[in-house]
Amino acid sequence: MMPTHLRQMVRNYRQIFATPMRSFSSVSAPSTPGIYEFRTYDVDPSSLDEYLTLCNETRGVRKELNPGFLAFFVTETGGDVNRVTHLYRYENYDERDEVRRRMGGDARWRNFLSESKRLVQTQQSEIFLEASAATKAAGLGVNDMVRRALEEEGKGKPGIFEMRRYQLELGYNPIPKLVDLMSQGLPSKMASDAEKKSSLVWMGFSDVGKLNQFVELWRYDTFQDHIRVREAARTAKEWRACINEIAPMVQMFDTQLMKPVGLSPIQ
């Protein structure tokens, strides 16, 4: 039987998702940090449309069983173009266990898995923690991605999302140092985007998976906007100084552009 506090948490999330769209702006994100799971699937190239159709048909089931569902993206460029990335937030690992047990026991979800697994070539799961000091410096609250998912679902035009990953050198210090440097440099980067062509969605670092990874997730209205914002950031003195100090710690850096699909709460 599910513990009382988890049953209450599920009821709270269901109540939030059942709230009419007009009242989402008043919903607050959870105040505790939580954990974020990034799940990355490579789909058979000839089956991507079929896979996305199955996912869209079961969007309601996914949200019902896993209320921490935040986003679902397809890579456009910068990586495998048959790759989907979906994001979830959990209060802790115990809640993740409970959610996965609940999903495994649901006949509707088992049917979805039996139909969709044949279309998937690889699956990867990673757990990240929010870099709250950095996101706060950029003007975001704790778990702002949760607030965004609740407020944006079903609204507006889908944007373009850029995921930037840094692989840092070994050791305990690189991640705290990078977060501190980001906290110092981000305000100048945000200020350089005078036309507000971008918005920061989330920043975090790995807890399970490849360690010493740092991830940024940004939203733009168009693909070209990410170039405009990048060029503007090069004029920000504090941001340039921040990157100059970060660069020696970085072993690898990559970026990919993604589009949200219809079932994605974040658009």
This prediction has a pTM of 0.88
8 vs 227: CA distance, rounded Å: 44
The larger pLDDT score, comparing residue 23 to residue 170, is at 170
Q: Give the phi and the psi of residue 138 in degrees, each rounded to 5.
A: -90, 0
Domains of the chain, first to last: 132-138+154-260 (3.30.70.100)
Q: pLDDT band at residue 119, thresholds of 50, 70 and 90?
A: very high
**Whole-number Å distance between alpha carbons of 66 and 100:** 8
| Residue whose tokens read 């039996």 | 114
Neighbours of 114 (CB within 10 A): 9
Q: In the prediction, which pLDDT does 154 show?
A: 74
Phi, psi values for residue 208, rounded to 5°: -135, 130
Is 146 a residue whose pLDDT tops 60? yes
Q: What angle do CA 260, 265, 267 make, to 5 degrees?
A: 45
Q: Give the DSSP H or E segment for 256.
A: strand 250-260
pLDDT in tens, 3-44: 544 454 445 444 443 433 333 334 578 889 999 999 999 999
Q: Dihedral, CA atoms, 88, 89, 95, 100, nearest 10 degrees?
A: 0
Instruction: State the pLDDT at residue 26.
Output: 41
Three-state DSSP state, 221 = coil
User: How many C-alpha atoms does 244 have within 13 Å on its Cβ side?
Assistant: 7
Closest listed residue to residue 35, CA positions, set 74, 79, 85, 91: 91
Measure the CA–CA gap between 68 and 96, rounded to whole angstroms. 9
Give the pLDDT of residue 92: 97
Residue 53 · residue 103 · CB < 8 Å:
no
User: Which residue has 């079961």 as its token pair?
Assistant: 58
pLDDT for 1 beyond 80: no
The predicted pLDDT at position 27 comes to 54
Place of tokens 């990034």: 38
* 110, 77 Cβ separation under 8 angstroms: no
